[in-house]
Chains A and B, each alone.
Chain A
Amino acid sequence: MKVEVLNFQMNRTLFSPAVFAYTLYVKFANPRYWIIPVLLMGLPTFALIIPFSFPHPPLTDEIQKLIAGGILHYFLQPIVYLLLAYLFISDGPAGGKLVAEADSLSLLFTRPMTRFCYVLTRYLAAVAGTSMLLSLSLLVVYLVALCYGVTAIDIGPLALASIILNAASWCSLVIFMHSASPLIAFSTVFILFGCAGVGNVYSQAQQSTNAFLELLKTICLFIDEWFGDFLPSAIDLVAMTAASAFDTYEFAIFISNIAFFLLIAAFALSCREFSYGSD
């Protein structure tokens, strides 16, 4: 099968300003579409303000570290990144259909733009949007924390780089879901998160006497062993650099997963045919 992604013309194949602008901010032109992003941004600040609104023990170094750890933990949560990536990448205004429909894409691809360009541009816009919102959120929570005397929250380059890398990781999964045909998108995610995730749980389970459960466990463990590394994961550069040795293997897997999902997103979109019932 010929794949359109290989049909490169370098001058107009990598980036579309129109798609970038519409993914990043035009779809948020109406203020009512800001509600979910603002809620997600405000959540850590809200979580910080509530305990300080009530009588609380004096701030010790230990409590400061506990608060800082809790706040930073929020900025590593996959669900936060997935939600924001979905808001940017989905077809509607700040949240619509995740998987792009053939009918809406068909008109887009009659315009001078390659499918690889579409994938890359939407991805970059989503990463930029997600990173900016969460970095801004971190800055706000840092300033609010300062007002309460909490100085332990790290907003250094490593914390910001962690946000960008996590955004890059989860957006790559969402852009794949958006680009592939619904059947491929959902079955891939089901296999990765379902089987590999269950396999992970099974690996810690004790041996069962039920033959069927044992077979299921074997299958899941097999998938987990072979595909488990393809699961996007959260990365904390602050913790990684603080450790005695930087885990280059984990970091390499993390980066390669981003490249893998981007490539299969471009490949899946290139293979999609836009005609009646093609999905």
Chain B
Amino acid sequence: MSLIAVENLTKTYRQGKVKAVDQACFDVQEGEVFGLIGPNGAGKTTIFGCLLALTQPSAGLIKIDGMSPFALDVKQQIGFLPERPCYNRWMSVKQFLAYHHWLAGRPSVERESEIKRVLALVELDVDINRRKVKEMSRGMLQRLGIAQALIGHPRIFFLDEPTSGMDPLGFILIRKLLLKCKEEGMTIVLNSHHLNEVEKVCDRIAFIRKGKIEEVANVAALSHVRQILIVSWLACDTDSAPALAAAAQSSGCTLIEVTGETAKFTVSGNDKAADIIASLTSSGLRVYKSNFEKRELVELFLSAPEQASKETLGQDFEQDQNSENALDESGGSKLPNE
């Protein structure tokens, strides 16, 4: 049984004129990291609102651990990082975290140690008794938000744009933290348009566009379907075009580019790559080199027809890449799995 089950979820505004979410269906298994990705305004946060019982769905069904999201037993199990860090600005960091520890219904005896634990987790080194929430930078607020979400030892962790406003080191921290939570068996639902980040932590992802879930895909499986095989052969007098077309046709792959004596095919696995090479060789082309080029998740998403969304995602993706580059320049530490 799925931990989170969403069936035909629909959310409309203005008496049904605006459809923010349209017949969304997906499920999340216990211990899974599930990503909702899509351009800005796709409906990701609205889905989160319904999952967290902050908005009432117009239609459809949501079950979390077999219960309605409004059930207090469900709320007892969740931690939530909101996209906009509108926290109680006047509180000190300690007051804020103690407040949420209390609200989460945790025993008071563990409050001090729990606050220290979550602050260490998010690597927030501040004078927690004196530092006010309003004095914190956007990136620090994001870390504080993650700390408050983790404070009740949640079973399900909802993160709405977790890297928003964070510096490159923050990106790394979030990734490290999510992987740690995943190791501990926490179920994570992540909402982001930073595809690079999603790809590195998620088990499965749902592509959302204009309120509709276009596809729910397994990230590991995606790595097979989005490989590009680059094949190079020695120059020869014969026309290589028929051989390339025949190779693509026989293997069921797509020829996407030919430059001189180099061609690119999209392939869905090693066996298909072997078929192409065999076909080209049998056609008389003297193949001397072949290798895979991994397509980024963003490219896969961009292959969908919506041009407007492509542009938005492309920009976001560029921001991602810039952050990664900045990290490299700043000499930031890399994780073992990177």
Contact = CB atoms under 8 A, between A and B. Distances in A.
A79 to B, nearest CB: 25
A275 B72 CA distance: 20
B104 A27 contact: no
B107 interface: no
Given A16-B103, A104-B87, A110 B54 contact: yes
A1 B56 contact: yes
A106 interface: yes
Interface stretch (B74-82, B112-120, B184-192, B253-261): B74-82
Nearest to B92: A29
A140 to B, nearest CB: 28
Contacts of A2: 56
B56 A18 contact: no
Interface stretch (A34-42, A111-119, A186-194): A111-119
Interface string B21-57: 0000000000000000000000001100100111110
A241 interface: no
A182 B191 CA distance: 29
Q: Is the interface of A mostly helix, strand, loop or mixed?
A: loop
B76 A112 contact: yes
A273 B7 CA distance: 21
B100 interface: yes
A26 interface: yes
Nearest to B100: A111
Contact of B45 (A17, A22, A114, A275): A275
B233 interface: no
Contacts of B52: 106, 109-110
- Report the contact-size class of chain B (Cβ under 8 Å from the partner): 20 to 34
Contact of A103 (B84, B99, B100, B105): B84
Contacts of A109: 52-54
A109 B73 CA distance: 13
Contact of A274 (B49, B78, B99): B49
Contacts of B89: 92
A1 B53 CA distance: 14
B88 A104 contact: yes
A232 interface: no
Given A16-B103, A103-B82, A111 B49 contact: no
B70 interface: yes
B96 to A, nearest CB: 10
Contacts of A249: none
Interface residues of A, number: 37
Contacts of B234: none
Contacts of A12: 72, 105
B90 A92 contact: yes
Contacts of A22: 99
Nearest to A13: B72
Nearest to A101: B86
A203 interface: no
A107 B80 contact: yes
B95 interface: yes
A91 to B, nearest CB: 8
B49 A110 contact: no
B71 interface: yes
A116 B153 CA distance: 25
A27 B52 CA distance: 27
Interface in A67-110: 91-93, 96, 101, 103-104, 106-110
A7 B75 CA distance: 13
A4 B88 CA distance: 24
Nearest to B90: A93
A114 B90 contact: no
Contacts of A96: 90
A112 B80 contact: no
Given A110-B80, A112-B76, A274 B103 contact: no
B70 A4 contact: yes
A278 interface: yes
A19 B105 CA distance: 12
Interface string A1-35: 11010010100110011110110001101000000
Interface in A131-173: none
A157 B309 CA distance: 69
A137 to B, nearest CB: 25
B75 A273 contact: no
Contacts of B95: 26, 29
Closest 8 CB pairs of A and B: A103-B86, A18-B102, A93-B90, A274-B54, A111-B103, A112-B75, A110-B80, A273-B55
Interface of B: 45-46, 49, 52-56, 68, 70-73, 75-76, 78, 80, 82, 84, 86-91, 95, 99-100, 102-105, 148, 158
16 contacts: A4-B70, A7-B68, A9-B71, A16-B103, A19-B103, A26-B99, A27-B90, A92-B90, A96-B90, A104-B87, A106-B52, A106-B82, A108-B103, A111-B75, A113-B103, A273-B54
